[in-house]
Amino acid sequence: MAIALLITIAVAYAVAYAMHKSRRVESFVLPVLDVLQSVPILGFFPIALYVFIYLFPVVGAELAAIFLIFTSMAWNIIFSVYQSFKTMPSEYVDMARIYLNERLELAHVYIPAALRGIYYNIPVSWANAFFFITASEVITLGTEIRLFGIGSLVVEAFNAGDYATAYIGIAAGALANSLLYLTLWRKLTREVPQPPNSLAESLSAWLKYGWYVVVALTALFITAVGYYVAKAPPSLPQLGEFLRGAAESAEALPPSLLRVVAVLAISGAAGLAALYSVVKKPGWETAILLGTSLLSSIPAVFLYPLLGAVVKGELLAILLLMPGALIYSVLNTIAAWRDVPQDLARAYQIGGAAYFLHILVPASLPYLITGMLTTWGGAWNAAIVAEPLASVHGLGRYMADAADAGDMPRLLASVITMTALVVAVNKFVWKRLYEEAAKWR
């Protein structure tokens, strides 16, 4: 997980800076990122299995696990850095261009500008990776590949009916997450430490040229996938299965979409409520962040025995979706609390609904949009776990069933169906919201 996190931060800076500097790159990469962050981790399994396990037989399984954990960590940090660059006050950028050369501008303007968002999103990514660690360490596509780690240990205990060991394992993980937050993450979010000048200036080269490294590795990855497809082209029966899967996926999409929209609305309201609480009582920040991180790090499969005994059906599905999505909205929105103009609110005695509409929402808008965007992806990711557990019909359950059966045509059809939806929402919703948020700064 630590290796995946370091890779995530490096990729985030390189990709976000490239999008910030080039509208052409932005118009292409932003929809791609939105698609990737909304594709459930299971959708990356076939690629990871081939590229890593078959090309690197000795360490391939570990590389595949790191890659899969990266896919559950990366997107919210990338969007956070992008949001930081996109909403940077123009006067800062103009002054930097006048008084600093390019290397110093990158080191002392761009790298520090994104740090607060990164520090707030690291606990989010860490908790989300722990949420999916059981999937990353037990790779299932008709057959299973198990790696050593707490994820595979918990799954084995749960499957064997040894619930005591399973819950001890998840408690140990939650305790480790708590200690990590109290000893490291909280310090980072409160103090926002800056890297030493020498390190920042060294990293400026990566900020400028790292994009080309990411593009080269991505091209290599796509080439390997293309070779895999060319090596075993689909047969006519498989094409028929794919078309049938596409029709079935389209039919399964609406119920899942309604659940995700419900989770999005609840998460947005929770994020604003958490922000309001922290603005009024800053001491609550630690408790809210720690509680949200702990809740979101618990895989849905372990919440199911507790929630399933009380609620069923749609309500159970939404409750199981919440932990994997709520953290994005809450932690991203709370990051804006220092930007809320409290003096203005006190001077004009603004309160009630007017305070929310004219003070809280405008001040938090870029953070809220980033949180909602990543919540959208987190909810789709969690659907593949929540819907089968709740025994409800939807695209997440359809995808899980296809993966368990090793039915690649149906799995591919379901991933493409979700991708089409995400591209449409990105074009007509998220991109416009980011442009609107930039006007508020």
Q: List pLDDT tens digits, range 276-292.
A: 888 888 888 888 877 87
Say what the pLDDT of residue 11 is. Answer: 92
Indicate the pLDDT class of residue 145, thresholds 50, 70 and 90.
Answer: low
In this structure, what are the phi and psi dihedrals at residue 233, rounded to the nearest 5 degrees? -65, 150
Say what the pLDDT of residue 265 is. Answer: 93
How far, in Å, are 68, 163, 247, 333 from residue 130 at the CA level? 12, 19, 33, 21
pLDDT by residue (tens digit) across 42-60?
Answer: 566 656 666 676 677 767 7
Percent of the chain at pLDDT exceeding 90: 12
Is the pLDDT score of 440 beyond 70?
A: no
Say what the pLDDT of residue 12 is. Answer: 92
pLDDT averaged over every residue in the chain: 79
Amino acid identity, position 179: L
Q: Could you tell me how far CA 374 lies from the centroid of its own chain?
A: 5
Find all residues with CB under 8 Å of 337, minimum gap 6, and list them: 275, 278, 279, 282, 285
Say what the pLDDT of residue 266 is. Answer: 93
Say what the pLDDT of residue 407 is. Answer: 83
Say what the pLDDT of residue 137 is. Answer: 46
121-130, 339-348, 352-361: the lowest-pLDDT one: 339-348
Query: Do 64 and 50 meet the contact criterion of CB atoms below 8 Å apart?
Result: no
Query: Do 154 and 169 meet the contact criterion of CB atoms below 8 Å apart?
Result: yes
Of 66 and 242, which is predicted with more confidence? 242
Rounded CA-CA distance 69/72 in Å is 5
Q: What is the pTM of this model?
A: 0.70
pLDDT by residue (tens digit) across 26-46?
Answer: 888 887 887 776 666 656 665
Say what the pLDDT of residue 428 is. Answer: 82
